[in-house]
Amino acid sequence: METVSDILATKGREVFSVGPDVTLYEALEAMSDRNIGAILVVDESGEIRGILSERDFVRKIIIKGRSGEATKVREIMTTKVLYVSPDTSISDCMNLMTEKRVRHLPVIVGGKAVGVISIGDVVKAVLKKQESLISEQAFQIGQLERYISGSP
């Protein structure tokens, strides 16, 4: 069974964060520089206080006509942060993300973030597993065909 650890082994464990008092513009700039769709919001002690996603920006700033330059991250971040551990199965992650309609999950060990996975990471892991199974089936079918036809 594949787990979050498998995703992090491929993707890496780098965690990007901003403080709750930076402006939304600064947070979006940090996200853009790193080509990420969400960023953790942590306080001075490193505790996770929220997560800011592109979806938060669109729904709470653009649609409501607020200014990203004047708004602090703490004003629009999602404060109820769902998370997983490295041993969480890929299937459980997909179910959680689908059920709760979230696209990013921090990976937490001992109260600290050791990575963040996205729905894209989860889908990629599922597709990789399917490709592996299909390849294995094709090999077995080839072996059976050779056996049936009497070919070496």
pLDDT of residue 135: 66
Q: In what order do the strands lie in the sheet with 38-42?
A: 17-18, 38-42, 48-53
Residues 32, 24: Cα–Cα separation, whole Å: 12
Provide CB contacts within 8 A for 54, sequence distance 6+.
31, 37, 38
Residue listed under structure tokens 């041993």:
87
| Cβ proximity of 71 and 93 under 8 Å | no
pLDDT of residue 111: 86
Map residue 112 onto helix, strand or coil: strand
Mean pLDDT split into 10-residue runs, the chain, 152 residues: 92 94 94 95 93 88 72 93 96 95 95 93 84 69 73 66
Q: Would you kindly state where each structural domain of the chain is located, as residue ranges?
A: 4-149
pLDDT of residue 68: 67
Looking at domain 4-149, its CATH superfamily turns out to be CBS-domain (3.10.580.10)
Q: What pTM, to 2 d.p., does this model score?
A: 0.79
